[in-house]
Amino acid sequence: MQKKNPPILVTRPSLPPVEEYETLVREIFDSRFLTNGGAQHQKLEAALTQKLEAPYLRLFTNGHLALECAIAAFGFFGGEVLTTPFTFISTAHAIERSGLTPVFCDVEPDYYTLNPAGLEARITPNTRLILPVHVYGNPCDVAAIGRVAARHSLPVLYDAAHAFGVTIGGRGVAQFGAAAMFSFHATKCFHTIEGGAVACGSAEFAELLNSYKNFGYRADDEIREIGGNAKMTEFQAAMGLLNLKYFEREIEKRGKVAARYRENLGGIEGVSFRPVPENVKQNYAYLPVTFDPATFGRTRDEVAETLRGYDIFPRKYFYPIASAAACYRERYRPEDTPVALLASERVLTLPMYADLALTDVDDICEIVAACKR
C-alpha cells in the first residue's frame, strides 16, 4: 500500500459552504459589530440553548476559558476538586489556575469515564466540587455520580467538551449537574473555529458566567467579580450557526465511519472498542481503539508508528494521563489510578471525521490488522 497523499490526520474540521459563510460575514461587516454579544452571537446562543436542551447557556471564546469561568462562578477559594486523570490536560489546568487542587480518581474500565465507586473514598472536608469528563462522547454514569454528590452536598460540573449533541435516555447531557462545559474547537464534531459554552440550571449562575467572561461587569455596569476576557466573536458565532445547520448530517456520516471501523476490526483478538452505551445517542466524536499487546502481539505505540509510515496520523488520546504530565508528576502517583494509566498506554484514536472516505477506513484497518502477530 502506498503512502496517503494528502496525509490522513486524526481529524479534519467540517466546514459549511463558503458562500454561506461569506453571506454572514457580509452581515458582520455591514453591522461593524464584531464582538460583545452582537447579532450572530445572540442567534447562536439562542439556537444552542434549544439544541442542547439547556435551561441557560452562555458562549465563550474557547472551552478552556469557559471551564475556568464556570469554576469561578461557584465561588470557591481554595480546596479540592475530584476529577479524572484520563482527560485532556485542560481539565486539570483549569482547576489549578482557579486556585484549587485536582484530586485524581480512577476511571471505570468500559468507557474510561470517572468511576463513581471510587469517589466517596476521596472526599474530604476540603472537597469543593466534582468535575467528571464525558470521554470520547461517552457520558459518565450521571445517576451514580449525582447520588454521591447529593450525599455530600457537593456540586457537579461536567466537562462535556466531547459530548455536544449527546443524549442520555432522551435528555441532553447539558441537563445533568449544576453546569456543563462544551468545547467548540475546530477538531470537535461541532465547532465555531475556536469557542465553547457553559450550560447551567440557574439564571444567577448564568449572570455570573457573563460577568466572569467580561472583566467582572454586571448588567448594571457594576464590577463585582474579578473577571477576564473570554467573549466569543461574531465571526466564530457565524461559523457556529452554519455548522449547527449541518450538524445532524455530519453526525450521520461520522456514524457510518465508526460502523466501518467496527466491522473491519471488531473480530480481531486483542483489539477492542468502547461498548455502545444503552439509551445514549452518540456523536462519534472520536474513534478510540484499545490494543492488548498480550493477545494482539504489538503495542499501541507500534501500531501508531506503522500507520505513520503510511502518512496516517492517529493520536494517543490521552497520553500521558494528567497526573503524569511534567507539571504534575512530582505531586501525584499515576499508579494510584491504575485503570486510567493502563488506558493511556493502550488506547489509540484512529482518524475520524465526517468526510473520511470509507475506502481510507478500509486501508487503515488493513494496516492495523497486518500488525497483528
Write the pLDDT tens digit of every residue in 77-132. Answer: 999 999 999 999 999 999 999 999 999 999 999 999 999 999 999 999 999 999 99
The three cell numbers locating residue 295: 493477545
Q: Which amino acid is at 123?
A: I
* pLDDT value, residue 307: 98
CA 198 to chain centre: 12
Asked whether 12 and 353 are in contact (CB, 8 A), the reply is yes
Write the pLDDT tens digit of every residue in 33-81. Answer: 999 999 999 999 999 999 999 999 999 999 999 999 999 999 999 999 9
Q: Which amino acid is at 311?
A: D
Distances (CA, A) of 328 to 87, 322, 340: 14, 7, 16
Q: Are strands 196-200 and 179-183 parallel, antiparallel or unpaired?
A: antiparallel
Residues with Cβ within 8 Å of residue 17, at least 6 apart in sequence = none
Summarize the confidence of residues 6-15 as an average pLDDT.
Answer: 97
Question: 320 pLDDT exceeds 90?
Answer: yes
Mean pLDDT of the chain: 97
Write the pLDDT tens digit of every residue in 246-297. Answer: 999 999 999 999 999 999 999 999 999 999 888 999 999 999 999 999 999 9
Q: Which long-range contacts (CB under 8 A, 24 or more apart) does 92-99 make?
A: 92/322, 92/325, 92/328, 93/64, 94/64, 94/67, 94/68, 95/71, 95/131, 97/68, 98/68, 98/71, 98/72
The secondary element (H helix, E strand) that includes residue 81 is: strand 80-83
Q: Specify the CATH superfamily of domain 247-371.
A: Aspartate Aminotransferase, domain 1 (3.90.1150.10)
Summarize the confidence of residues 291-319 as an average pLDDT.
Answer: 98
What is the rounded distance in angstroms from the CA atom of residue 258 to the CA atom of residue 253? 9
Q: Any idea where the domains of the chain sit in the sequence?
A: 18-245, 247-371
Q: Which amino acid is at 334?
A: P
Nearest C-alpha neighbor of 243 from the set 11, 60, 21: 21
Write down the residue that cell numbers 456514524 correspond to. 255
Summarize the confidence of residues 180-192 as an average pLDDT.
Answer: 97
Write the pLDDT tens digit of every residue in 188-202. Answer: 999 999 999 999 999
CATH number belonging to the domain at 18-245, selected among 3.40.50.300, 3.20.20.70, 3.40.640.10, 3.40.50.2000: 3.40.640.10
Nearest C-alpha neighbor of 76 from the set 121, 127, 151: 127
* pLDDT value, residue 277: 85
DSSP secondary structure string for all residues of 127-174: EEEEE-B-BTTBPP-HHHHHHHHHHTT--BEEE-TT-TT-EETTEEGG
What is the rounded distance in angstroms from the CA atom of residue 25 to the CA atom of residue 21? 6
* pLDDT value, residue 278: 87
Asked whether 86 and 108 are in contact (CB, 8 A), the reply is no
Write the pLDDT tens digit of every residue in 142-155. Answer: 999 999 999 999 99
Nearest C-alpha neighbor of 323 from the set 89, 99, 147, 130: 89
Q: What percent of the chain has pLDDT over 90?
A: 98
